[in-house]
A and B are shown apart, each in its own frame.
Chain A
Amino acid sequence: MSLVAEAFMNQLAAAEPWPENAALYQQLKEDQILLSDNAASLAVQAFLQMCNLPVRVVCRANAEYMSPSGKVPFIHVGNQVVSELGPIVQFVKAKGHSLSDGLDEVQKAEMKAYMELVNNMLLTAELYLQWCDDVTVEEITHPRYGSPYPWPLNRILSYQKQWEIRRKMKAIGWAGKSLEQVLEDVDQCCQALSQRLGTQPYFFNKQPTELDALVFGHLFTILTTQLITDELSEKVKNYGNLTAFCRRIEQQYFEGHDKDGSAAASARSAKRSLLR
């Protein structure tokens, strides 16, 4: 949106405090949501938990169509609707909550760079696996994506989405990659994240930031979602400090919350429902 519109939105956002009934919308947990969307949703949930902002998770079959940008998750706060982690972080900042204020300029640059790395490599690899790997597409993606809708709508919607994603993959040069190359890229990305994390509890030492939320969202979802093979989660499991990082965030921010929106429970149920 233009600068003026953005400034206006920020002003509106700053005017009201965070309400009690904020809601986060995603697709249906058990049957419909896919790996990449689940990762994005979990990242936003983790971020909001880290900021101590209450939000309840609402599952709707048409969440993707309700979202202003076509992507999930999106949050409904007061009378504003904001989607995707980047804009949500800015929105929350306009309301006066921020996790990255304590970082200096160079650290902020690093944080943004690592977030782009996760989006560039991990998210794209997840999308590739879901939509361009024929076996996964047939057995998992098509049945799940259109599951709330009757035939033939379910097939039409999922073919449409597949076509859209494949076009994008072709434009960025990933269409020619084989599955092994994609898994190699995932490994490289995990290695970089593992080396950056080192032995620290969070990426910027003592305090979690939006980067920790994003990495947690993706890695936890990869570790707990069962696909056709375990190759993807094996790549992450190779790095002990990353699995410990996920466990630590899960314990600190998600355990003890017994609401329906609990991330751990939702991820595990996704795992169970994919077992055949």
Chain B
Amino acid sequence: MAAPMELSCWGGDWGLPSLHPESLTVMAYAKFSGAPLTVNTINNSWSTPKADVPVLISEDTVISQPAKILNFLRKQRYNADYELSAKQGADTLAYIALLEEKLLPALLHTFWVEAENYCSVTKPWFASRIPFPLSLYLPGKMSREALNRILLTRGGPPLYSLTEVEAQIYRDAKECLNLLSKRLGTSQFFFGNTPTTLDAFVFGFLAPVYKVCFPRVQLQEHLKQLTNLCRFCDDILTCYFKLTITDG
């Protein structure tokens, strides 16, 4: 518990502490559970890790995926799910699976595959934070991986063209957002008045869609109609990240 913990992750913009959904999830969980993390955003130096971000380094342990990082934090007694019942813990896993299956493809598409968004926003932003000449290669690689993932998981028959796959994944994402909105209802967080792991994951996935200004924004427009989800993101930003909403 006394060992200092360092988190390397992508930085933020548009009022967010990070643009990367997984980095944002880990940062939000750390705030909710009170874990003292030093956050190092990836910058132009060569010493910060670029692959498998976010990465948590604590003494000699290096941990790389959000689920594993959260498990590690829980073992160190930083547990945001302390007051949840067994059923609520099960619900957490189920909703996280829903996010990964239904929302993540559309999120990846909006950031990395949609040509206008990628060329005018995502690529310049990430390239400016990666040292040359890696900045010429790494954003392209991330974009190809995103497209690969979308096509391999959602692109089989009877959907034969990329436009059909896109239509399907956006439809699924909008349905997922509607389901989340119904589940949240009027409460402040998903399980009562204190934020938990599920809130961290939902915030991590929703906030980039909500805040980043893209040219093509169909998902953002749908999200803005679900006012309780927007209120949820804004509450977490003002309470836990102490950034003003009007930035960017």
Contact = CB atoms under 8 A, between A and B. Distances in A.
Interface of A: 1-3, 68-71, 105-106, 108-110, 112-114, 116-117, 119-121, 167-168, 171-173, 188-189, 191-193, 195-196, 198
Contacts of A121: 97
Contacts of B95: 113
Interface of B: 65, 86-87, 89-91, 93-95, 97-98, 100-102, 145, 148-149, 152-153, 156-159, 164, 167, 171, 179-180, 182-183, 185
B182 A105 contact: yes
B158 A192 contact: no
A245 to B, nearest CB: 14
A192 B94 contact: yes
B84 to A, nearest CB: 11
A113 B179 contact: yes
Contact of B182 (A109, A167, A168, A173): A109
Contacts of A1: 158-159, 164
B153 A168 contact: yes
B157 A196 contact: no
Contact of B90 (A3, A69, A116, A195): A195
A192 B87 CA distance: 7
A117 B149 contact: no
Given A70-B157, A113-B95, A192-B89, 12 more contacts: A109-B179, A109-B182, A113-B98, A116-B98, A116-B102, A117-B97, A117-B98, A119-B97, A168-B153, A171-B152, A188-B93, A193-B90
Contacts of B90: 191-193, 195-196
Contact of A116 (B101, B152, B153, B164): B101
B65 A173 contact: yes
Contacts of A116: 94, 97-98, 100-102
A55 B26 CA distance: 48
A1 B159 CA distance: 7
A119 B95 CA distance: 12
A37 B93 CA distance: 24
A-B complex: 9 closest residue pairs judged by Cβ atoms: A192-B90, A113-B94, A109-B179, A120-B97, A117-B97, A195-B86, A113-B98, A195-B90, A117-B94
A82 to B, nearest CB: 11
Contact of B87 (A113, A173, A198): A198
15 contacts: A2-B164, A106-B183, A106-B185, A110-B183, A113-B91, A113-B94, A116-B100, A116-B101, A117-B97, A121-B97, A171-B149, A171-B152, A172-B152, A192-B93, A192-B94
A70 B152 CA distance: 13
Contacts of A195: 86-87, 89-90
Contacts of B100: 116, 120
A109 B87 contact: no
A202 B145 CA distance: 40
B182 to A, nearest CB: 4
A113 B91 CA distance: 8
Nearest to B95: A113
A88 to B, nearest CB: 14
A234 B65 CA distance: 27
Contact of A68 (B101, B145, B157, B164): B157
Nearest to A194: B90
B58 to A, nearest CB: 21
Nearest to A191: B90
Contacts of B152: 167-168, 171-172
A108 B182 CA distance: 10
Contacts of B65: 173
Contacts of B171: 3
Contacts of A3: 171
Contacts of B159: 1
A105 B183 CA distance: 8
A120 B153 CA distance: 11
A114 B95 CA distance: 7
A114 B94 contact: yes
Contact of B148 (A71, A117, A171, A193): A171
A112 B93 contact: no
Contacts of B156: 69-71
A3 B90 CA distance: 33
A192 B98 CA distance: 14
Contacts of B182: 105-106, 109
